[in-house]
């Protein structure tokens, strides 16, 4: 039978968990405002010292990896919460696009170049898989029902949707578009890419 955790040990463990979470939240917020923020900047935002950050995350790379993992989980959860199986495919796609952009607005760090450069290109596909699972199912359903285009491969279509999202985000990050303008451009571009145009009637 395992020995019960002592109150002092339990408090120390809970304090460590809270400290680790505070550092992660501070990194997400700080890097979202300033891509080149230092570990000292993040520590100050978390209300801890630099050594505490390194106690939880041995390197900047380790911290960025934790940030990406957290954001991927949050994004996947947000997209899993919407119903994309019941509505008609085009309506479901609109819902998916709105929900994905809402996550971008919630976490400005997703528009930051620090995210794009944190993981090697080889990890890009794996990083997006939890986020694109519902999109893949939706594209397949739209194609089966004849609503979505089939001129290009499924893999190319999914990659293009993700790339358009990145492009929209980059326009916002560069100050060339407002978030609302980029969201509309993203939605309209994806719909033109994915949804099959109605056949023109003969005169």
Q: Is pLDDT of 77 > 50?
A: yes
What's the CATH number where 69 sits? 1.10.357.10
3-class DSSP state of 90: helix
CA distance 80 to 25: 22
| Residue 195: DSSP 8-state | B
Which of the listed residues 43, 58, 73 is the one where a domain comes to its end? 58
Contact of 48 with 23, CB cutoff 8 Å: yes
Label residue 11 by pLDDT band (50, 70, 90): confident
Q: The tokens of 120 are what?
A: 């090697």
Number of structural domains the chain divides into:
2
| Pairwise CA distance, residues 98 & 9, whole Å | 45
**Do residue 43 and residue 88 come from a single domain?**
no
Q: 148 - beta bridge partners?
A: 195
> What domain range includes position 82?
60-203
Q: Tell me: pLDDT of 182 over 60.
A: yes
Phi-psi region for residue 182, left (φ > 0), alpha (ψ -120 to 50) or beta?
A: alpha
Say whether both 81 and 127 belong to one domain.
yes
For the cut 60, the answer to whether the pLDDT of residue 57 exceeds it is: yes
pLDDT band at 35; cut points 50, 70, 90? confident
Instruction: Determine the pLDDT at residue 186.
Output: 97
Residue 100, pLDDT above cutoff 90: yes
- pTM across the whole model: 0.80
114 and 197 inside one domain = yes
37 and 76 share a domain?
no
Residues 160-174 have pLDDT tens digits of: 999 999 899 889 888
Regarding whether 135 and 172 lie in a shared domain, the answer is yes
Is the model's pLDDT at 95 over the cut of 50? yes
Could you tell me if 116 and 180 lie in one domain? yes
pLDDT > 70 fraction of the chain, expressed in percent and rounded: 88
Q: What is the 3-state secondary structure (H, E, C) of 148-175?
A: ECCCCCHHHHHHHHHHHHHHHHHHHHCC
Least confident of 18-22, 118-122, 131-135: 118-122
The mean pLDDT value for 110-121 works out to 70
pLDDT band at 201 (very low <50, low <70, confident <90, very high): low
Asked if residue 52 and residue 84 are part of one domain, the reply reads no
Same domain for 168 and 128? yes
pLDDT of residue 178: 94
Say if residue 30's pLDDT is above 70.
yes
Q: Give the whole-angstrom CA distance, residue 96 versus residue 161.
A: 11
pLDDT of residue 203: 44
Backbone φ and ψ for 148, nearest 5 degrees, come out as -105, 150
Rounded to whole angstroms, what are the CA distances from 14 to 17, 19, 172? 5, 8, 38
């Amino acid at each position: 039978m395992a020995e019960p955790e002592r109150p002092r040990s339990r408090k120390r463990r809970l304090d460590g968990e809270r400290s680790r979470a505070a550092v992660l939240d501070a990194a997400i917020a700080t890097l979202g405002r300033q891509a080149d923020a230092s570990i000292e900047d993040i520590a100050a935002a978390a209300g801890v010292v630099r050594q505490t950050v390194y106690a939880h995350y041995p390197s900047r790379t380790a911290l960025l990896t934790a940030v990406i993992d957290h954001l991927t989980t949050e994004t996947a959860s947000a997209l899993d919460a919407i119903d994309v199986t019941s509505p008609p495919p085009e309506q479901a796609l609109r819902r998916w696009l709105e929900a994905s952009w809402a996550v971008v607005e919630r976490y400005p760090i997703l528009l930051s170049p620090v995210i794009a450069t944190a993981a090697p290109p080889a990890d890009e596909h794996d990083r997006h898989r939890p986020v694109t699972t519902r999109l893949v199912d939706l594209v397949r359903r739209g194609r089966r029902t004849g609503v979505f285009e089939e001129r290009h491969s499924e893999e190319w279509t999914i990659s293009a949707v993700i790339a358009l999202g990145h492009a929209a985000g980059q326009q916002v990050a560069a100050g060339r578009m407002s978030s609302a303008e980029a969201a509309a451009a993203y939605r309209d571009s994806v719909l033109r890419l994915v949804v099959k145009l109605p056949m023109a009637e003969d005169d």
